[in-house]
Amino acid sequence: MRELRVGYWPLASDLTSPGDRRRLVFWAKARGHTVITDLSKKVDVVVASENSDFNSSLLANGNIPVIFDLIDAYLSPRNPVDDFARGLAKKLAGQISGGVKPFSHHIKDFCLRSDAVICSSPEQEVLIKPYTTNTHVILDSHDEIPFIEIGTRSKLSNNEIRILWEGQPATIRGIGGIASELYQLSETSDLRFDFVTDQKYYKFMNRYIERETLELISKDLPQISSNANIIEWSINNLVNSAQKCQIAIIPIDLRVPIQRLKPENRLLIMWRLGLPCLTTASPAYVRVSKIAGVNAICEKPQDWLDSFNRIITDQSFAQKEVLLGQNYLHEFHSREILLRKWDTAFESVIG
């Protein structure tokens, strides 16, 4: 493919958001393309993110193909009220021009107008297919995170158990569903939690009402808050925490559609970091766990207790779980696989 000038409406203006640097920016750097965030300049193709003004004239040049990188499942809103409120908030904040309507309607309309739509999982693709036939499933690149070999983590005291949780503060509440089980474990072990996340977050639209993450944990997870260690997210901090922990957890509130339909990125990152991981039975995690042959899925509270105890007490089982996960990464989530998928998506609109 010739070198392209790719116009991009990013998630973050400095391109540092994971959804920028692990996706389009990753591909463009690897393939030698130029990413241009000033869409008034001459470009060969435009990529729109979820933070775009879908009604902007900059995305309506009929001579320039448009690719929509739709990372999250906004086509499946939690309820009509929440959906309309999101659309209204984006209008009032000046992020979206034009009339007020539910945010999912903006997404549907833009899928219809786009030449191709990229999403993060087959489960999300099912929601998009009614609005376009040119869809592409592409996960994030995790190249920035090193592989950690099995058996290299730090020694802990006999009774200490360290658990890693990584992600955005908005998803921490998923732990509430297993808080009582974790509390049971803390009665017999020195249980510690490393939350690798942002120290502060915004409650609405990533820009309004700033809150402390520790306050969120203290309020929503009082059973474990005294054992929680908040660690500012960075690659180094994530790697350091992974080497100190024995297990990772990804509990999800399946009642929230955008959480239930999240892709498998976080599970793959934990395997990359050399950690066995337990997850809620979301569609993506169930799909990947079956293919990899791991025992990561917990469908009910007792599953969390049983699986947790098995991983902690059976080192060979824990190492096998990681090995199976890392084998999955090599076979299905390599750098070249991701790059080829991005190549195919762009070739589908520019030839």
Q: What's the whole-model pTM score?
A: 0.92
* Residues 229 and 261 both lie in one domain: yes
Q: What is the pLDDT of residue 158?
A: 62
* Residues 87 and 187 both lie in one domain: no
Q: What is the pLDDT of residue 22?
A: 97
Length of the chain: 351
* Residues 245 and 229 both lie in one domain: yes
* Residues 126 and 204 both lie in one domain: no
Question: Residue 5 is encoded by which pair of tokens?
Answer: 């000038």
Does the pLDDT value for residue 107 go beyond 90?
Answer: yes
Cα–Cα separations (whole angstroms), residue 311 to 232, 275, 290: 27, 10, 18
Compute the distance between CA of residue 21 and CA of residue 29 in angstroms, rounded to an integer.
Answer: 10
Q: What is the pLDDT of residue 307?
A: 94
- Within-domain flag for 153: no
* Residues 94 and 179 both lie in one domain: no
Phi/psi at 160 (5° precision): -95, 135
* Residues 95 and 172 both lie in one domain: no
Considering its fold, how many domains does the chain have in total?
2
For residue 127, the enclosing domain spans: 5-141+334-350
Q: What is the pLDDT of residue 299?
A: 94
Cα–Cα separations (whole angstroms), residue 51 to 13, 96, 118, 275, 298: 10, 9, 15, 33, 33
Mean of pLDDT values over 144-172: 79
* Residues 179 and 284 both lie in one domain: yes
Lowest mean pLDDT among 135-149, 182-196, 201-215, 246-260: 201-215
Q: What is the CATH number for 269?
A: 3.40.50.2000
223 Cβ contact partners less than 8 Å away, ≥ 6 residues apart: 179, 180, 182, 183, 186
- Within-domain flag for 154: no
Task: Identify the helix (H) or strand (E) that includes residue 125.
Answer: helix 122-128
- Within-domain flag for 242: yes
* Residues 324 and 343 both lie in one domain: no
Question: Considering the chain, what is the average pLDDT of its residues?
Answer: 92
157 band by pLDDT with thresholds 50, 70 and 90: low
* Residues 307 and 180 both lie in one domain: yes
